[in-house]
Structure 1
Amino acid sequence: MITEIAQIEIHPGHEQEFEEAVVKALPHFLAADGCDGVDLYRSVEHPSRYRLMVRWETVAHHTVTFRGSEGFARWRALAGPHFAAPPQVEHVQSVLAP
């Protein structure tokens, strides 16, 4: 399992609209081949900064399958207008399991 971490800076004052856009886009993520769940976190210190965490079976499920899909296009159409800058994305793998 791979976790995509996208740090997303949005335009100040767009927090409510951005969160609503993510809720609308959620079914597109969950329907994507290889997606195992999505979490959205908002920074306490920087309220216009979010971290979208998506669990994927493989990196390719995100970078090839999802990014080439209509679901990704819908996600960007819904959330993209609120981005203050392009999201910073990385993929991580757990190395510590309790």
Structure 2
Amino acid sequence: MSAEQPAETASAGNPLADRITTADGSKPEGTTETTDNEQADGAAAQLGGSELNEPDYTVEVKLSDLQADPNNPLYSVKSFEDLGLYVKPRALDLPFHLS
């Protein structure tokens, strides 16, 4: 910070509306709305926050069941041999495969 600008310290306990000033340096007139501290941070109701409904269900899915369904994107073959990737092409065959 330069020497021309004084360092402003803001109290962490005051709300932002108390620290706002207009262009001429005076504080704006009017009432400010304050929120309840218990719901300001979004914490659970037991901790003093909002009362959001948490889901009451659990989902149990086995990976083997998903892989067995051919309509599922996780469907896969059981081994690399089934993919046909185990055959190493010869160096002379590579230009033909690339074209």
Q: TM-score higher than 0.5 here?
A: no
Task: Select the structure that is richer in strand.
Answer: 1
* TM-score w.r.t. length of structure 1: 0.19
Task: Select the structure that is richer in helix.
Answer: 1
Relative contact order, higher structure (CA 8 A, sep 6+): 1
